[in-house]
Amino acid sequence: MNDIAFDIDHHIATLTLTRPHKLNAVTPDMTTRIREAAHEINTNRDIRVVVLTGSGKAFCAGSDIAELDSYPTAWEFRDRPDYCDAIRGIRKPVIAAVNGYAFGGGLEMAMSCDIRLAAGTASFAAPEIKLGWIGGGGMAAFLTHSIGPSNAALMLYTGDPITAQQALAWGLVSATHPSEDLLPAARELAGRMAERAPVAAQTGKLNLRAAYAMPLENCIQYERDLQTVSFATQDAAEGREAFKQKRPAKFTGR
């Protein structure tokens, strides 16, 4: 059974988890497919933006717990291929359309995306503590950066879910939509982003990542270097020419 759907339309790749009877909990086979899709996204020049979502009432409930005892040792569990690493390794902008439960690794997967939109009925949790362990896909780092250390501690130490409205108030998501409007809203946003210069979008993503990790002066210098790279592209020349001619720019990713 194929538990991942992947399609490309008008420069937008949509990656959908399609295991609704298990709340889209991720198996090792699904991880392989997600990693393959991430590679396709990075190497296919036609793809400019990605939308990641789930089917049914869940975005993703994390790893399939029934599969975790298949690892002979904790060390082999630690070294397993990771689906959050695959999403985080996508070089192009990624929008998470969180349609339902985003729990555990599913929350980490959503936070591995650049922008998060949520259905009003979605909920978010870091429930690993209820099972005796903690997240391992960036849970603490992402939550601390997204919602602050106190709110992150509240989620990590209780494992209890928060609503989409609370997630919006805390800054975990950028917007909420009625369930039926979520995917159209994500695709409309992706369409606007796909019209922008692809090299500028990818260098902008590198710049945002640097802002997490670098001291301020280093980050500004890195930004200036990235600006120089993007300024030298054909798309930048097209953007300047379009501005002078008062017409929309036509970017090609070169």
Please say if the pLDDT value at position 1 is more than 70.
no
46-65 per-position pLDDT tens digit: 999 999 999 999 999 999 88
Same domain, 118 and 240: no
Catalytically annotated residue among 108, 188, 195, 217: 108
Q: Does residue 254 lie in a domain region?
A: no
Q: Does residue 142 lie in a domain region?
A: yes
State the pTM of this model.
0.94
Task: Please report which confidence band the pLDDT of residue 69 belongs to, taking 50, 70 and 90 as the band edges.
Answer: confident
CA separation for the pair 102, 135 (Å, rounded):
13
Catalytic site residue 36?
no
How high is the pLDDT of residue 231? Answer: 94
Rg of the chain's alpha carbons, rounded to an integer? 19
Same domain, 158 and 221: no
Catalytically annotated residue among 76, 128, 217, 238: 128
In order, the DSSP letters of the chain are ---EEEEEETTEEEEEE--GGGTTPBPHHHHHHHHHHHHHHHH-TT--EEEEEESTTEEE--B-HHHHTTSSSHHHHHTS--HHHHHHT--S-EEEEE-SEEETHHHHHHHTSSEEEEETT-EEE-GGGGGT----SSHHHHHHHHH-HHHHHHHHHH---EEHHHHHHHTSSSEEE-HHHHHHHHHHHHHHHHTS-HHHHHHHHHHHHHHHHS-HHHHHHHHHHHHHHHHTSHHHHHHHHHHHHTS-------
Same domain, 226 and 125: no
Check if the beta carbon of residue 99 is closer than 8 Å to that of residue 154.
Answer: no
Catalytic site residue 40?
no
How high is the pLDDT of residue 81? Answer: 82
How high is the pLDDT of residue 114? Answer: 98
Same domain, 91 and 120: yes
Cα-to-chain-centroid distance, residue 117: 10
Averaged pLDDT of the chain: 95
Mean pLDDT over residues 80-84, rounded? 89
- CATH number of 215's domain: 1.10.12
Q: Does residue 216 lie in a domain region?
A: yes
- CATH number of 104's domain: 3.90.226.10
